[in-house]
Amino acid sequence: MSDQRATAAGEMNQSYGFQPVGDGEKQGRVNEVFHKVAQRYDVMNDLMSAGLHRVWKNAMVAALNPPRSRAFAHLDVAGGTGDIAFRVIEASDGLAQSTVLDINGSMLEVGRDRAAKRNLLNNCTFVEANAESLPFSDRSFDAYTVAFGIRNVPHIDVALKEAFRVLKPGGRFLCLEFSEVDLPFLEQVYEAWSFKAIPPIGKLVTGDGEPYQYLVESIRKFPNQENFATMIRTAGFERVSYRNYSGGIAALHSGWKL
């Protein structure tokens, strides 16, 4: 389904999955999806990745390699439930201060509860805000991460420019996202699983299959690895690279503010 993929930033803000929508309509519809799935977020990701999202997230944090000898200011965008932030804090031996930003209050509520249970509230700040208009000063963070969230942002190019703005010189951008499979046989199996199995299973598990239909469509709509890397460079980042996981089912993109 490569022909479904966006190739330019403007194509994403006018699509809700495969459905065309007006500019300004997508955000509200995406918000409703995540209000519905917030309490079953782990189930959602397990369905979307057959459980591999946990391995990929660990690899993302290993690539970030937060320092264990100094303070480290980390911003995790679209990370309401805390999955990445908690890993970064633990990988830094508790020295990292993670700001978890999400536009969806239901997701943030789940994250706060999880942080409290893990005794990490002293290392976490939870902020309800839009990735396209970050409420932070220029040069505030050492690292910006976003995992499986950038494709839900209507104006991805704007969000990338905001990421560049709030990073300190020498700061790193890391984005983990579902991407384009580069193995023909695996692509066929993954397409069948995504469109034939995930929405019905999502409905069985959560009572509503529509959010899962959007999510699998949004994955196929998101720009492929090379096109997304070009968008990151256009935002000002240098030394842009990506690494495929599981044959391209997911990809980790990296860029530096130099």
* pLDDT per residue as tens digits for the range 117-145: 999 999 999 999 999 999 999 999 999 99
What is the greatest pairwise CA distance in the chain? 49
CA gap 252, 60 in Å, rounded: 7
CA gap 113, 227 in Å, rounded: 37
* pLDDT per residue as tens digits for the range 168-206: 999 999 999 999 998 888 988 988 888 888 888 878 877
* pLDDT per residue as tens digits for the range 54-104: 999 999 999 999 999 999 999 999 998 899 999 999 999 999 999 999 999
- Token readout for 58 is 């660990």
Residue 133 DSSP class: S
| H or E element in which residue 200 lies | helix 198-206
Q: Give the residue from 186, 167, 185 showing the smallest Cα distance to 175.
A: 167
Q: Flag whether the pTM goes above 0.85.
A: yes
- pLDDT band, residue 9 (cuts 50/70/90): low
Determine the average pLDDT of the residues in 9-28: 71
> The dihedral of CA 146, 89, 112, 135: what is its sign?
negative
